[in-house]
Amino acid sequence: MLIIRPIRSSDLPALMQIAEESGHGFTSLPVNEELLRKKIARVEASFKKKENKPHDEGYLMVLEDTETGDVVGTCGLEAAVGLIDAFYHYRVGTEVYHSEQIDVRNEVETLTLCHDYTGSAELCTLFLQDSYRKNNNGRMLSRSRFLFLAQHAERFGDKVIAEMRGVSDAEGNSSFYGWLQQFFLGINFLKADYLSGLGQKAFMAEMMPRNPVYVCLLPQEAQQVIGEVHPNTLPALKLLQGEGFQCRGYVDIFDGGPTVECELENIRSVKLSRLLTVSIGETAKSSTQYIISNTLLENYRATSAYLSVDVDKTEVVISHKLADALMVNAGDQIRVLAM
């Protein structure tokens, strides 16, 4: 069985392996053992926190194959970004220039550095090993976060965002970043991305252009990738668009990839998930697969299974094996979402 649970300190070797396998553009998991150890400690503290107001908490879960004990994936949520470390984006805008005297009107696209998403919750750190990318495992892993958001909404910002990986080549070089490196930062894309993942962002405030950037003055190859996603990220983008996420004109400052957003209460899976009371026993056959989670925090568990759910009833029968995996007893509640 595949179970999603909070990460713990003993998962450090597995998290290091995931950081190495995830490759370029996975800023939230830099290959740095000390930083990952601190990240796990922060997550453990977040799950234990009693106060429900969102601040600088991070909720990183792992996908464990209970038959082998292997950690084969991750998914994460940030409660409210930018409250401790600055959270930068480019806001895409338009400046209009018009002269009646010469009868000329021009609209020029601009990029303006901003912190507009400060306080928003963030979907992040989604990874699944290649051998497990089958049987809806990736969809279950990604969408399980919406059950957690629905159950613990008070612990997150009202708006939820997700940064989509921008276009880069096989070596991790970004054509959008090229002009920034040449004229402003002076370090390559991989180093800048790595420093950002470490939380060492002072260089951004010191070296990034302070005035709006005119897109028409950028190299053509940089202009072409603004707001575009890496081909490997297209499935994730389509999944989020199906949940109601939209790009509102914000892009990543390094690779130009789009950031999508949706109000937490308007996310499709948040609205469609249901709380049901558990009975444990013989289960009826069903052709409908559900993502299922308990309603706990520190002992949060989620998985997928085929259930017979009656839309007119508030109870559901689950097997003893599933009840044990979810750490629930008869009379407890679970949250379910049809795949």
Domain boundaries, the chain: 84-118+158-271, 272-338
Q: Which of 24, 89, 152, 230 is catalytic?
A: 230
Task: Give residue for tokens 């396998």.
Answer: 21
Closest by Cα among 21, 32, 57 to 198: 32
Paired sense of beta strands 274-280 and 333-338, if any? antiparallel
CA angle 285, 290, 294 (to 5 degrees): 115
Task: Give me the sign of the Cα torsion angle 247, 25, 117, 222.
Answer: negative
Length of the chain: 339
Query: What CATH code would you report for 272-338?
Result: 2.40.40.20
**230 carries an active-site annotation:** yes
pTM higher than the cut 0.75: yes
pLDDT tens-place values along the chain, 339 residues long? 999 999 999 999 999 999 888 765 566 777 788 889 999 999 999 999 987 889 999 999 999 999 999 999 999 999 999 998 888 899 999 999 898 888 899 999 999 999 999 999 999 999 999 899 988 999 999 999 999 999 999 999 999 999 998 888 877 778 888 888 888 887 777 777 767 766 666 777 777 888 899 999 999 999 999 999 998 889 889 999 999 999 999 999 888 999 999 999 999 999 999 999 999 988 878 889 999 999 999 999 999 999 988 888 899 999 999 999 999 999 999 999 998
Residues 6+ apart with CB under 8 A from 8: 40, 44
Nearest-5° angle of CA 66, CA 140, CA 312?
Answer: 110
Cα–Cα distances in Å, from 3 out to 30, 73, 147?
Answer: 24, 10, 14
